[in-house]
Structure 1
Amino acid sequence: MQDILGGFNLIFEFFGQHISTMLLIGGFFAGFYFVYWFFVGSPKEGEETAFSLKLMTYLGVLIGVFLVGGGINAWTLVGVKYYTLTCVLAIIVGIALILRPIKDVPWAAIIGVIAGAIVVFISASYLKFMVDGFAGLFGVDPYWILIILFVLILLLTYLAFKLIEDLGRLLGKILSSRPASAVILVLCVVEAILAFFGSSIEALFYL
């Protein structure tokens, strides 16, 4: 397990050392909706999403993972100094790329159901004495305790993950918007070029 984690760390360290290049690539993936519209045009209403858009969306998830890992590593690299904006922008764009294809999936509900089912299974299998104890205390069937436990865990988990789900939906809509994707593309390209030369947009505020 440590070898696997060490391998991932080496990969992310490599991307951290080349974060300017990764930011340039990530910016292209994030701004692909604008690039597609500029060269091909807007898809007609009711028309199926183009294969190239689907491909770039799902490849973007992989690029997003590399960007997040590389951005975090770039922030902590010894001997290589990147501006905070460069690292933060890489992480934010990476997260947006990861969340874009899952913006319409009800993750909060799915995770809530799974978490509730796991807790009920553990309670029924390994904590039966506690379930029976609560059932005896309230004078109800143990199955009611398990049902109540499932609903409570479902609601708590749903509320906890709803914010993340809404954030993913928001980021997905932003990246699917031509104006927003164009702004992100330009921002990433400019920041990547400046980072390559050891500078940043952030440095302009110190002039």
Structure 2
Amino acid sequence: MSHMFEAKRREYTQGGLRRADLAKNPFDQFANWYDQVEAAGVTDPTAMVLATADAMGLPSQRIVLLKHLDQSGFVFYTHLASRKGRELRENPKASLLFPWHSLDRQVKVTGTVELVDLQMATDYFASRPRQSQLAAWSSAQSDVISSRQVLLDAYDRMEEQFAGTEVPMPENWGGYRVRPEAIEFWQGGEFRLHDCFRYRLQGRAWVVDRLAP
């Protein structure tokens, strides 16, 4: 079976991006774009593709949700024993991609990764819906299981175990912060003449370069 995609194309007409439009700081630029994306009603605007690689350089990707952003980086939460957790222990480098297709925009982040402190992770876990807390206890993320029923049975056991009490954060659950070394802002343009600017950390200052599309 084969599919032909050569003729699948459209023009990107949402407008351009000029150096004068950019904030001096990439975090402020991200916040500006995020506010516009949210105002436009983009579905799951915090969804980002997380790319990691193991010690041998084999890459893998998955979608996670951005939960916190400040001048030190982008934070997400997950099972520490999952595939992504294992790979980040072996190779603490990662890339994030925000695919805001409906506005013809992408933001790519590359940098080093570190665990957030225990208190920050605990506070966030406590803020999650109880069902999500129980699910975190129920799933050995990335492990092979024989059926969905295994998950449902584990969830029922956790629901019974923590009945009438607060659900504590599992020991193998926590948060990661991606500390950016570079952040790229891509805006689609007509005739494939897209606009792309990269903020690159040089010492303590951010240097901005325009990249050819």
Greater strand fraction, Structure 1 or Structure 2: 2
Q: Same fold (TM over 0.5)?
A: no
**CA radius of gyration, larger in:** 1
TM value normalised by structure 1 = 0.24
TM value normalised by structure 2 = 0.24
RCO (CA 8 Å, sep 6+): is it higher in 1 or 2? 1
